[in-house]
A and B are shown apart, each in its own frame.
Chain A
């Protein structure tokens, strides 16, 4: 679609879109009423089956002149209602604020038009961990476009506070990003978010001075012993549901979140085995194992632990990489998949949550097209690459992941040699991937609202000395709580 007359191009584009939407939901444009019971509940009319790679015509070239013009026309129409001004809010992590602001400038430049003026206010006040909750709380006060961690997606969809990914971008998003990343952005086969980075999971950072080779970081029990001999500890936050759920996955428990119902079969022998494995580790508290962040929170605990030479290894994610490197020196930092833990008398590979950071569009935005376009722009392969160069956050875009070239750091105009495949953190994430479980389909808001963290906390406080009967009772309570 390069050298056709503009009108023809617009026609073709519309036709393609119509075809895509026909292929998807087998009907005309869908009007769904997302309201009270009168509307007949949740009709799944929006279940647009994504058909990645099913035809070259599906993915539209977003950067073609014609598409840009069509988008601008839609933006101009939206701007009319507010006097030619598009005024939006973006929420991102405070750490990323500077970078996102740069990208916003590029976005404004790309979609500049005489008919409207774009104003986007970026704020780092509501971070990725809190954004979903705040949007649900009062969608009309929330940002038009927001960055969030994928575990909040189900809550957002349930509250009908997030818009589905526009048909225009959907096939591009599906085709260009890794399969896993796309899966977590979907609920009931509808894509609601734009994958941005693949670092919302955890693995293990360790001190190479204590753990000399890769073999020494394979087994949790050995690691604790080695660390203790060196006068240090291994950190795994059992008091946090995000980390301790890995034990239940390891034991083979199934956790599912569907249609607003949270199920987790923890109240059985498998759940008990997981709990006892946690107890087994907690017995080593003060003897080479740290199982809680205390009142400080994960990041602060890990930072302090390495800075004060107390930790030899920690189970945490990429975001703590820079701080750990600063504390013990880059050359001493190793990254690996999670170790094995003793469960039911045998060593089993510890499972984890593998998550993504994604971008969503507020369903109640006054400028849906602009917001969708911005969300797409912030998550293209190019933007993801820039993000990696500036912030070290690992992309989800297939092409970006394979890139080996020099990229400009747009924050300080330096050149960065990018070779993501050789990033030790990425290697660790990749190694852990087959044991990592996506969050969107397995856990919903009720899971986090339950006392899953408190459960681990109790084990830690009791230093693992809890009777089986007590554990069973607690597990039963936990499961009841998740049901609501």
Chain B
């Protein structure tokens, strides 16, 4: 359906259309999700297949140098007159072997130390714990308790972390290893065709031109791997352990529990699963309200400020921008006091309105305060957009005799809505993850008795934070993190796939 077709519809038709397309999208997305997963594995196997084929082919057709490079990295390049490159490959191999002998193998061996696990139902099996050396206590002559193995004792956290690190390094090494065989074979082919392999300097220079993307991306990607990807993988592993309040390394080690934590969240533990269900519903309700209230009122505010005949536009805009510029934790903490049970407004008015202490009040309050926080941003952005609306659209509308209100509903709003769909997705996902407003304002409260470590305004992310910081339920927190990820992924997939911007990305290129 075209944008113009859409604009020509009546109000009722539009609503019906939106409703229809929303619900129609859901099964499609689920099907799509599975298609993606299937597609992913198909692609994976294809890659592995072609990779293996190429690997075998290179070995079969390779000369001595190429064949040698399958064991001694860089040998092929060195024998094909690319000494410097060959040496770099060789150095990588030596470094990797040294790393594995001195460090990596130890970490991998520790990850599945034998241990007796006692399961919930009382059954015991022998399986993997993370580490085997707990602290050993001894008393010295004064009767002071010492830990004698302070330097060697195992810490499940470190073991898991080093394990993930070793695996990542091994994957990176494997990629370099394959590149090494490819490079050896390519130079062999070049020599056969009588082409002189590029000099080291020339290859280096290429990093500023043809391979400039490598130069630009290496450092950011490397840091991303180390400080974002590695921790995320680590945390995902955590979801399958019993790393909670009672298993805090190094005092006591933790071990693998399979899907127990997921079961807890979904059905096995009534308290946790009920809390999860309620928080999930509220998170979605919150995200919808928070996104659309800000969006609609922000646009209306921008329209008012930018309306023809309204003076002091700069003044109005600046007034709102000021509130957006003050750091959020400041304004939100101030709001907390301003709306407290016996402080701020209640103290001034001599009332005790439970703005933040009654569930219904608190939920409305956080949405309203979020409007206070977010509307200036939307106003700023849509101000910029309003100027981009093609003037001829209004021209023709005026000729057709449309009044201001009709112009808004027929042109301005659809246009902005159309252009800002990706922005809306980002805001929606951002609101699912909106920590500040909830944490600083209500701290998640009020907390009724049937919530586990959470309150009635808690979002999944603030619950995650509380589980991490207040109750040290790291395993549960990891599960929640994974669930938040899945929700965001599905949400983005629904909207992103239907939005025009995604399809048009290549248009610019």
A and B touch in the complex (CB under 8 A): yes
Contact with A along B465-481 (1 / 0, CB 8 A): 00000111000000000
Given A34-B252, A139-B250, A480-B271, A457-B447 contact (CB < 8 Å): yes
Whether A449 contacts B137 by the Cβ 8 Å rule is: no
Cβ < 8 Å to B, chain A residues 55-84: 70-71, 74
* B140 and A137 form a contact (CB under 8 A): no
Beyond A36-B134, A74-B144, 20 additional pairs, beta carbon < 8 A:
A17-B142, A33-B136, A35-B253, A38-B132, A137-B472, A159-B245, A293-B341, A294-B341, A294-B343, A295-B341, A295-B356, A363-B135, A364-B251, A451-B448, A457-B447, A458-B449, A461-B358, A475-B449, A481-B271, A481-B449
B463 to A: closest C-beta gap in Å: 13
Give chain B nearest CB distance to A224 CB in angstroms. 16
- State how many angstroms separate the Cβ of A266 from the closest Cβ of chain B: 10
Q: Does A53 contact B (CB under 8 A)?
A: no
User: Does A161 sit at the interface, judged by CB under 8 A?
Assistant: yes
CB of B252 within 8 A of CB of A159, answer yes
Chain B residues within 8 Å of A294, by CB = 340-343, 356-357
List which B111-134 residues lie within 8 A (CB) of chain A.
Answer: 115-118, 129, 132-134
Interface hit among A24-32, A344-352, A425-433 = A24-32
Kindly identify, within residues 133 to 176 of chain A, every residue whose CB is under 8 Å from any CB belonging to chain B.
Answer: 133, 136-137, 139-140, 155, 158-161, 163-164, 166-168, 170
Binds A, one of B145-153, B160-168, B193-201: B145-153
Count residues of B near A (Cβ-Cβ below 8 Å). 61
Contact B336 A160 (CB under 8 A): no
Q: CA of A119 to CA of B337 in the docked complex: distance in angstroms?
A: 41
Tell me, in angstroms, the Cα distance from A410 to B414 when the chains sit together. 74
The stretch among B17-25, B85-93, B320-328, B450-458 that forms the contact with chain A is B450-458
CB-CB contacts of B240-255 with A at 8 A, as 1s and 0s? Answer: 0000011010111101
Complex alpha-carbon distance, A38 and B329, angstroms: 47
Question: Is the Cβ of B343 less than 8 Å from the Cβ of A458?
Answer: no
The contact sample of 16 A-B pairs, CB cut-off 8 A, is: A31-B137, A139-B248, A160-B252, A161-B251, A166-B144, A292-B357, A295-B337, A295-B343, A369-B142, A454-B445, A454-B447, A457-B357, A458-B448, A458-B449, A461-B357, A478-B449
- A280 proximal to B (CB < 8 A): no
Residue among A31, A301, A454 making CB contact with B451, cutoff 8 Å: A454
Q: Which residues of A contact B248 (CB under 8 A)?
A: 136-137, 139, 159, 161
A372 and B144: CB pair below 8 A? Answer: yes
> Closest residue of chain A to B117, judged by CB?
A37
At the interface, yes or no: A453 with Cβ under 8 Å from chain B?
A: yes
- Residue B318 at the chain A interface, CB threshold 8 Å: no
Which B residues from 333 to 357 make CB contacts under 8 A with A?
336-337, 339-343, 347, 352, 354, 356-357
In this complex, which of B136, B142, B443, B447 has the most chain A Cβ atoms within 10 angstroms of its Cβ? B142
B117 adjacent to A285 (CB under 8 Å): no
Q: Which of A34, A137, A294, A305 has the most CB of B within 10 A?
A: A294
Residues of B within 8 A of A140 (CB): 250
Select one of B138, B141, B352 contacting A286, CB under 8 A: B352
Interface centre among A159, A293, A450, A475 (most CB of B within 10 A): A159
**How far apart are B142's CB and chain A's nearest CB, in angstroms?**
4
Given the contacts A161-B251, A285-B352, A449-B453, A17 and B141 also touching, CB distance less than 8 Å: yes
Q: How far is the CA of A366 from the CA of B153 in the complex (A)?
A: 13
**How far does the Cβ of A207 sit from chain B's closest Cβ, in whole Å?**
17
Task: Give a binary string over B430-451; 1 marks a CB under 8 Å from any A CB, 0 the rest.
Answer: 0000000000001101111111
Q: Is the CB of B448 within 8 A of A454?
A: yes
Instruction: State how many angstroms separate the Cβ of A461 from the closest Cβ of chain B.
Output: 5
Q: Which of B133, B143, B470 has the most CB of A within 10 A?
A: B143
Shortest beta-carbon distance from B36 to chain A in Å: 39
**Residue of A whose beta carbon sits closest to that of B255:** A36
Mask, A442-467, CB within 8 Å of B = 1, is 00010001110111011011000000
Q: For the complex formed, measure the closest distance between the CB of A155 and the CB atoms of chain B, giving whole angstroms.
A: 8
Residues on B with C-beta less than 8 A from A29 are 138-139
* B448 A474 Cβ-Cβ under 8 A: yes
Q: How distant is B284 from chain A, measured CB to nearest CB, in Å? A: 23
Residue of B nearest to A67 (CB): B142
Contact between B449 and A369, CB atoms less than 8 A apart: no
Contact with B along A5-18 (1 / 0, CB 8 A): 00000000010010
Q: Are A170 and B341 in contact (CB under 8 A)?
A: no
Given the contacts A160-B135, A449-B471, A454 and B253 also touching, CB distance less than 8 Å: no
Contact of A34 among B135, B358, B451 (CB under 8 A): B135
B357 touches A37 (CB 8 A): no
CA of A94 to CA of B500, assembled, Å:
57
Instruction: Determine whether A21 belongs to the interface, using a CB cutoff of 8 Å to chain B.
Output: yes
Most chain A CB atoms below 10 A, which of B116, B150, B449, B452: B449
Which label, helix, strand, loop or mixed, suits the secondary structure of the B interface? loop
B115 interface neighbour in A38, A292, A455, Cβ under 8 Å? A38
The 9 A-B pairs at the shortest CB distance, nearest first, are namely A35-B134, A167-B143, A294-B341, A454-B447, A160-B251, A166-B144, A477-B450, A294-B340, A295-B340
What is the distance, in angstroms, from A134's C-beta to the closest C-beta of chain B? 10
* A167/B137 in contact, CB under 8 A: no
Interface residues on chain A, number (Cβ under 8 Å): 71
Within the complex, the shortest CB–CB distance from B509 to chain A, in Å, comes to: 48
* A340 interfacial by beta-carbon distance below 8 Å: no
Q: A455 is contacted by which of B357, B449, B470, B472 (Cβ under 8 Å)?
A: B449
Contact string, A285-323, partner B, CB cutoff 8 A, digits 1/0?
A: 110001011111000010011001010000000000000
Does A39 interact with chain B (Cβ within 8 Å)? yes
Contact status A34-B251, CB under 8 Å? yes
When distances are taken between beta carbons in the complex, the residues of chain B under 8 Å from A454 are 445-449, 451, 455
Residues of A within 8 A of B341 (CB): 292-295
Q: How far is the CA of A356 from the CA of B385 in the complex (A)?
A: 63
How many angstroms between the C-alpha atoms of A5 and B80 in the bound complex? 83
Known A-B contacts A37-B117, A364-B150; the reply to A74 vs B141 at CB < 8 A is: yes
Query: Which of B141, B271, B446 has most chain A Cβ within 10 Å?
Result: B141
Give the complex CA separation of A136 and B339 in angstroms: 34
Say whether A36 contacts B342, CB under 8 Å: no
B115 pairs with A36, CB closer than 8 A: yes
Bound CA span A481–B129, Å = 28
In the complex, which residues of chain A have a beta carbon less than 8 angstroms from the beta carbon of B337? 295-296
Do residues B253 and A36 form an inter-chain contact, with CB atoms below 8 A?
A: yes
Q: Which residues of chain A are within 8 angstroms of B356 by Cβ–Cβ distance?
A: 294-295
Give the residue of A296, A308, A445 whose beta carbon is less than 8 angstroms from that of B340.
A296
In whole angstroms, what is the CA distance A364 to B251 when docked? 9
Report chain B residues within 8 Å CB of A451. Answer: 447-451
Q: CA separation between A35 and B147, bound complex, in Å?
A: 12
B129 touches A474 (CB 8 A): no
Residue A392 CB within 8 A of the other chain: no
Question: CB within 8 A of B251: which of A31, A159, A166?
Answer: A159
Residues of A within 8 A of B116 (CB): 36-38
In the bound assembly, the distance between CA atoms of A30 and B453 in angstroms comes to 38
The interface residues of chain A lying within 8 Å CB-to-CB of B141 are: 14, 17, 70, 74
- Within 8 Å of chain B (Cβ to Cβ): is A20? yes
* CB-defined contacts of B347 to chain A, threshold 8 Å: 308
Which residues of B have CB within 8 Å of A424?
none
Q: Which chain B residue shows the least CB distance to A163?
A: B145
A329 CB within 8 Å of chain B: no
* Cα A364 to Cα B150 with chains together (Å): 7
Asked whether any CB of chain B lies closer than 8 Å to the CB of A368, the reply is yes
Closest Cβ of chain A to B447, distance in Å, is 3
A294 CB to nearest chain B CB (Å): 3
**A71 to chain B: closest residue by CB:** B142
In the assembled complex, which residues on chain B have CB atoms less than 8 Å from the CB atom of A368? 140, 144-147
List of A residues within 8 angstroms of B359 by Cβ: 461
Closest residue of chain A to B469 (Cβ to Cβ) is: A137
**Would you give the shortest CB distance from A170 to chain B, in whole angstroms?**
7
CA gap between A363 and B137 in the complex, in Å: 9
Bound Cα distance from A301 to B340, whole angstroms: 11
Contact A167 B142 (CB under 8 A): yes
Residue of A nearest to B136 (CB): A33
Residues of B within 8 A of A31 (CB): 136-138
